[in-house]
Amino acid sequence: MSIDARPLGSRDVVAIFDRKMADFQHKAHGLILRHVDLTVFEGAASDDPDVRLELETGIIDGVRDPVLVRLHDHELFTCPPLALQMLSDEPPEIHRAFVEGAFLRKLFRFFVPAAYEGGESWEVSQQVREIMQRHFAFQLVACEAVLGKAS
């Protein structure tokens, strides 16, 4: 384990989500951030058409991404317990990067052109991924690695 690398706790995860939201508050005014428990999060996720499609087609067998967006309601839901569950077998060195990456890849959906120009879900995801590759590469890799391993 490297210096200062330690597993995150629930308060740490919430603090990271809050700090990342604060970093973009000048652009994210009007967005509502909600930290919820697993039961509430799974209920909200089942209302999301993309998540519902992935569950129904068997692409995923349960909700794994600890951040959910509702573009039309300007809401972000986070589930710190789910983030910790996803990180339970991961090295502490990537914990912070995973949490930041999971949050940013959903937050940025509010800012990309495809989200407001009637683009398809995959177009929004692709535009966010391009931003992440350019400016937050380690967070994107950590997030995709952990979520990909869980699939």
Within 13 Å, how many C-alpha atoms sit on residue 82's CB side? 23
**Sheet containing 67-70: which strands, arranged edge to edge?**
32-35, 75-78, 67-70
So where are the chain's domains?
A: 10-150
> Going by DSSP bridges, is the β-strand pair 32-35/75-78 parallel, antiparallel, or unpaired?
parallel
pTM (predicted TM-score): 0.89
Interval 91-133: pLDDT, tens: 999 999 999 999 999 999 999 988 878 878 889 889 999 999 9
Question: In this structure, which amino acid lies at residue 136?
Answer: F
The pLDDT of residue 1 is 47
Interval 28-65: pLDDT, tens: 888 999 999 999 998 888 888 778 887 788 777 778 89
